[in-house]
Amino acid sequence: MLIVAWVVVLATRDSGESLGESDPLPPVSGSLTPGDTSSGIATNADVTGDPLPSALVSDLAGEQIDTTALAGQPLVINIWFSTCAPCREELPDFAEVHAELGDQVDFVGINQFPASDREEDFARDLGVTYSLYYDGNSEFISQLGIARYPVTLFVTPDGTIARQAGQLDAERLRSIIAQDLL
């Protein structure tokens, strides 16, 4: 399926036709600068400086929480899913930094799919021990304008998004937390 899609894109490009703005490409995993459209691939809206949006997400047991209730102390929200290759690469780094800084900074994972044992087990097998929530109706993700994964939001205690980032490693994660949250 993916090969067929790329053949169509390449054939269209080579024939001089344009896909145009009304024919969006599907979201692609990876990390570009927020708002960057130079590649022609949809990217994430830049929400730096915005308040954390209010949306209901649920845990594996189905208990719902409003995302604004997550604020109150420095907060790192990692938005991920198991079939996203960059998400898989960074989850062990998030687990490592959470183990080091979890007493100073809250960590939360939000998955774009409905609650699932498969997604939960996947993250837990990579060492994640922080709270995981699911945005099965895409309310939170839609309000943030997310089109590419992973996304990490660094949220101040008052609920302001201090920074957003794409794929991170442990060193970069520590650096942003020190700069923006501690």
pLDDT tens column, 78-127: 999 999 999 999 999 999 999 999 999 999 999 989 999 999 999 999 99
Cα separation, 63 vs 76, in Å, equals 21
2 located within any domain: no
CB count within 10 Å of CB 27 equals 17
Q: Per the structure, how many domains does the chain have?
A: 1
17 located within any domain: no
13 located within any domain: no
Strand pairing of 131-134 and 75-80?
unpaired
- Output the pLDDT for position 83: 92
DSSP for 113-161?
A: S---HHHHHHHHHTT--SEEEE-TT-HHHHHHT--SS-EEEEE-TTSBE
Amino acid at 78: N
The angle at the Cα of 48, spanning 168 to 142, to the nearest 5 degrees, equals 85
15 located within any domain: no
- 3-state SS class at 51: strand
Task: Give tens-digit pLDDT for 75-86.
Answer: 999 999 999 999
114 located within any domain: yes
Structural domain including 63 reads: 24-180
148 located within any domain: yes
Amino acid at 85: A
146 located within any domain: yes
pTM of the model: 0.76
Cα separation, 129 vs 56, in Å, equals 21
Helix axes 85-101, 170-180, angle to 10 degrees: 50
User: Is it the case that residue 74 has pLDDT exceeding 70?
Assistant: yes
CATH code assigned at 114: 3.40.30.10
5 located within any domain: no
Residue 145 structure tokens: 């304008």
